[in-house]
Amino acid sequence: MLEFVIDCVVLGVVGSLVGVLIRRRHRQRSARAAAGAPTGIPCMIKRPSHGNRWRPGQLLTHATPLTWRPAYGTSTVVLPDDLHLTAVRAVSTREGLVINPGSRVVECASSDGSALIAVMPMDLEQVTGALSGE
């Protein structure tokens, strides 16, 4: 019984520390974006031209046009100039098996086809603002 209590306390402390680190990283990224410094928003992207699989990376909102840097690899991908927001929705059950179920999916369209960008709710405003040109 004592081991169970100790495990629960340790798990609670670790979970709290992870939450603090995530919130700190988000505040730092928001402050850099407000100051006009380059920021990369963590996201996952799904495009038919890239094998139609969810791929992790960062959306570079300071670049014109928008650029996506994959988590694995060195080459960045320039997104189409006419990429625009069409809808924002919650993650479906099937998508929740691959991406974080708490994230939001930003549906986009362009002359090259559709694209889906999955971001956490705290970063949603920055992504939608970058897609609308604000």
Could you report the per-residue pLDDT of 12-64, keeping only the tens digit for each?
999 888 888 878 877 877 777 677 766 788 999 998 877 778 999 999 887 77
Could you report the per-residue pLDDT of 78-88, keeping only the tens digit for each?
888 888 899 99
Confidence check: pLDDT of 133 > 70: no
pTM of the model: 0.75
Q: Do strands 67-70 and 84-90 pair parallel, antiparallel, or not at all (unpaired)?
A: unpaired
At 134 the pLDDT is 59
Q: Which residues of 122-134 are buried (b: 16+ CB within 10 A; e: fewer)?
A: ebbebbbebbeee
Of all residues in the chain, what percent carry a pLDDT higher than 70? 96
The single residue listed with the structure tokens 């890239």 is 50
Mean pLDDT of 111-124: 89
Q: Name every residue whose Cβ is closer than 8 Å to that of residue 124 and which is 6 or more positions away in sequence.
A: 88, 104, 106
